Amino acid sequence: MTTKIKFAVLPGDGIGPEVMKVAIDVLGVAAKKFDFAMEYAWADVGGAGIDNHGKALPDSTVELCKQSDAILFGSVGGPKWEKLPPNEQPERGALLPLRKKFSLFANVRPGLLYAEIADASPLRRERIPNGIDIVCIRELTGGIYFGEKATRILDDGQTESHDTMVYKTSEIERIAQVAIDTARARSKKVTSVDKANVLETSVLWRKTVTAYFAKHAPDIALNHLYVDNAAMQLVRDPNQFDVLFTENMFGDILSDEMSVVCGSLGMMASASLGLGINSHGKRFGLYEPAGGSAPDIAGKGIANPCAQILSSALMLRHSFGLTGAAAAIEKAVKDAVASGTRTGDIAFGGKSVGTAEMAAAIAERL
C-alpha cells in the first residue's frame, strides 16, 4: 500500500520560499520513485506571519502543524522586522514557541562536507582529505536557556544578573537515547561533551550518560570530553568524532562551529525531534536548514537549495521511516555537487548555477 505522508510547509522569509519551492519539487520526484503520497499545506511564519496575520507564529499555522506529522521549515527573519520588540521578532516569536509547543527536545545536525568541495572549509584540505562526516546531537529544551533567570539592582547600585543551568535525569536519558539511535545507524561511536570538572549539571550529565549507555547500549563506544577540549578538537581533526552529543548551550556553540568547519551554510540541514509520536509511529519533528533567511541574496534566485532538500530527506527518515527515499535524496545531492553543478557559495569563483538549476540537477539524479 502506498504510504501517505502529511506535513506542514512553513517557508518563512528571505530565501526560505525560494529554496522551499524546489525542495518540494524534489520531494515530488522521490514520492513517485519510492511510491509514497504527499499531503501538505503551506502556511506563513516569521516575518510573513507578522505581515499577513499580525504575529510571527499565527494561530492558523500552529493549527496546521498540530494536524500534521512533521514540519518542513524554511528560515525566518530579515531587516524589515529587526526593530520590533525582541519577543515579537520572527526568530524569537516563531521558532522558540514552536520548539516549546511541540516539545522539540533533540536537535540532530549532520556535519557533512563532501570531499569534492573540501575547499569550502576553512580547514586545510590535507586535514580533511575525504571531507567531513559527523553528527551533532544537541539537547534543545533544557539547560541554561530555560532555567530561572533574573536581573536585580544591588544595595551598592550595581546591576546583577543570573541564569540557571538545570537538568534532571529523565531529560538526559531521553536525549542519550537519540544519540544511541543515531550512533547505531553509523559507526557506533559517541563522544559526550560536558564540563564535569566545574559544573554540577555536567557531573550529573556524565554520570547519567555513563549509566544509561552501560545499561542500554553496551554495543556503543562512549567517551567523554570537556567542552573546551571538544571545541579545539573540532577544528584540529573533526573526523575523530562520529556522533558528538551534548547539552543545550554547549551544543548551540559546537554545532555552529561544526557548520563553519563544514563549509557553506547552504549545505547544512537539521532536524529537531519532538517528544510526540506521530501517526506513523515515528517522532514528530521540525526540519530546517541550519542557516538563516540570507537577506543579502534573497530574491536573486541564487540561494543554495541543498540544505532545504537535505532537511526534507531528514524528515522522510525520522518522521516517516522512509529511509530508502531519504538516502536516495542524500546521494542525489552528493552526486550533483560532485559532478560540478554548484551554486555560488560552493563554486569557489568557478561556474555557478541558480537555485532552480541546482535542484533540477538533483531531481534528475534521483
- Interface with ligand NAD (CB under 6 A): 15, 75-78, 91, 95, 265-266, 288, 291-297, 303-304, 307, 345
Angle at 97 between CA 95 and CA 99, to 5 degrees: 70
Identity of the amino acid at 267:
M
Which CB atom, from 143 or from 354, has the smaller least distance to ligand NAD? 354
- In the complex, the smallest distance separating the C-beta of residue 223 from ligand NAD, rounded to whole angstroms, is 31
- In the complex, the smallest distance separating the C-beta of residue 33 from ligand NAD, rounded to whole angstroms, is 25
Q: φ and ψ at 273, to 5 degrees?
A: -95, 140
- In the complex, the smallest distance separating the C-beta of residue 294 from ligand NAD, rounded to whole angstroms, is 4
Q: CA 343 to CA 346: how far, in whole Å?
A: 6
Q: CA 40 to CA 315: how far, in whole Å?
A: 13
Which CB atom, from 15 or from 366, has the smaller least distance to ligand NAD? 15
Cα-Cα end-to-end distance for the chain = 22
Q: φ and ψ at 277, to 5 degrees?
A: -105, 130
Which CB atom, from 147 or from 295, has the smaller least distance to ligand NAD? 295
Which CB atom, from 11 or from 142, has the smaller least distance to ligand NAD? 11
Percent composition of the chain: helix, strand, coil (DSSP 3-state, to 5): 45, 20, 30
- The residues assigned a catalytic role are 145, 195, 228, 252, 256
Q: Could you tell me how many residues make up the chain?
A: 366
- In the complex, the smallest distance separating the C-beta of residue 346 from ligand NAD, rounded to whole angstroms, is 8
- In the complex, the smallest distance separating the C-beta of residue 344 from ligand NAD, rounded to whole angstroms, is 7
Which CB atom, from 80 or from 127, has the smaller least distance to ligand NAD? 80
DSSP strand pairing (132-139 vs 189-194):
unpaired
Identity of the amino acid at 286:
L
